[in-house]
Amino acid sequence: MQITPFDDTYFMQKAIAEAELAYERGEIPVGVVVVINNRIIARGHNLTETLNDVTAHAEMQAITAAANFLGGKYLKDCTMYVTLEPCQMCAGALYWSQLSRLVFAAEDPQRGYRAMGGKLHPKTKVSHGTMETEASGLLKRFFIEKRNLK
Amino acid sequence: MQITPFDDTYFMQKAIAEAELAYERGEIPVGVVVVINNRIIARGHNLTETLNDVTAHAEMQAITAAANFLGGKYLKDCTMYVTLEPCQMCAGALYWSQLSRLVFAAEDPQRGYRAMGGKLHPKTKVSHGTMETEASGLLKRFFIEKRNLK
């Protein structure tokens, strides 16, 4: 068996580990990592409830952290791995960042940027579906538990 | 002459004062205030260059600050006054905040949320044009000066 340590699945697993941290905090479990040259330069998970802040999506925090690491505001040559399709806010932020590549796991047919009419930057290549089952399984488990607690 | 201290023009002047602070810092001059019951609970101006952060738009900072003031993440009964039409990122954040009312001064036919296909929350009432001349005059002056410095 060939070992491919730095493929999309590897990095999406790291994003799912972040989503699990959100889950443990009672947050909608979405996680993200930003990668440049096979190196993770930013991680984040959804903190909207903890911070009482609708802008505290995983992606927004990771964009700020990655830019901070790079010392510039553009995420050129960076790939973002995120467990759920970004919303229009996050897509808008990614548009401004000129991110090179976006990989998301689960689709969001209600609030995802594609359904809401949002746009990524023309430079941003997009793929999705990597570890979709794991990412959407975590989200489903969260919402079932939440419903049962009411 | 009748004095109407708390009308849209009054609060948009406060937003323009914020835009002027951005201008003085060499930032694209956009300013914002958030108002509830005729009281300003958050102010902000664009800081993307200063902070090296594409997410540091005036509106994003003001949403976070207003939620912090209110102790909750929804901007119910709040009006946001902003000197330029929000981009899709900021519209997306305002969507999540369920802002009651948005007033913007100048339109942004290139990068405004309407051109980019973004959506505000169905609860958000929108009006625009208040002090448009002043707000767009400041933006034009900024870009002319910027061009001449190159």
SS3 assignment, position B102: strand
What angle separates helix B58-70 from helix B88-97, to the nearest 10 degrees?
A: 10
Mean pLDDT for chain B overall? 95
Domain count, chain B: 1
Residue A5 confidence class, pLDDT cut points 50, 70, 90: confident
What pLDDT shows up at residue A76?
95
Q: Is residue A79 part of a domain?
A: yes
- In 3D, which of B76, B69, B62 has the Cα closest to residue A52? B69
- Give the pLDDT of residue B1: 58
For this structure, is A18 an active site residue?
Answer: no
Q: How far apart are CA A110 and CA A131, in angstroms?
A: 20
CB A72 within 8 A of CB B52: yes
Predicted confidence band of residue B100 (pLDDT cuts 50, 70, 90): very high
Tokens encoding B130: 């208040």
Is the residue at B3 inside a domain? no
Supply the CATH number for residue B101's domain.
Answer: 3.40.140.10
A67 touches chain B (CB under 8 A): yes
Residue of chain B nearest A90, judged by CA positions: B89
Q: What pLDDT digit, counting tens, does each position of A68-94 carry?
A: 999 999 999 999 999 999 999 999 999
Find out whether B4 and B33 touch, Cβ atoms under 8 Å: no
B17 contact A CB<8A: no
Residues paired with residue A80 on neighbouring β-strands, in sequence order: A34, A102
Given a cut of 70, whether residue A35 has pLDDT beyond it is yes
Q: How far is B117 from chain A (nearest CA, A)?
A: 5
Do the chains contact at A89 and B97, CB–CB below 8 Å? no
Q: A141: how many CB neighbours lie within 10 A of its CB? A: 12
What is the nearest CA distance from A30 to chain B, expressed in angstroms? 16
B14 falls within a domain? yes
Mutation target for B interface from A54, A74, A94: give the one with most B CBs within 10 A. Answer: A54
In a domain, B2, yes or no: no
Q: Tell me: pLDDT of A6 over 90.
A: no
- Report the percentage of chain A scoring pLDDT > 90: 92
Domain hosting residue B128, numbered range: 8-144
Q: In the predicted model, is pLDDT for residue A61 greater than 70? A: yes
- Between CA B150 and CA B148 the distance in angstroms is 5
pLDDT for A8 beyond 70 = yes
A49 within a domain of the structure (yes/no):
yes
Structure confidence by residue, pLDDT tens digits, B1-39: 566 678 999 999 999 999 999 999 999 999 999 999 999
- Does A2 reside within a domain? no
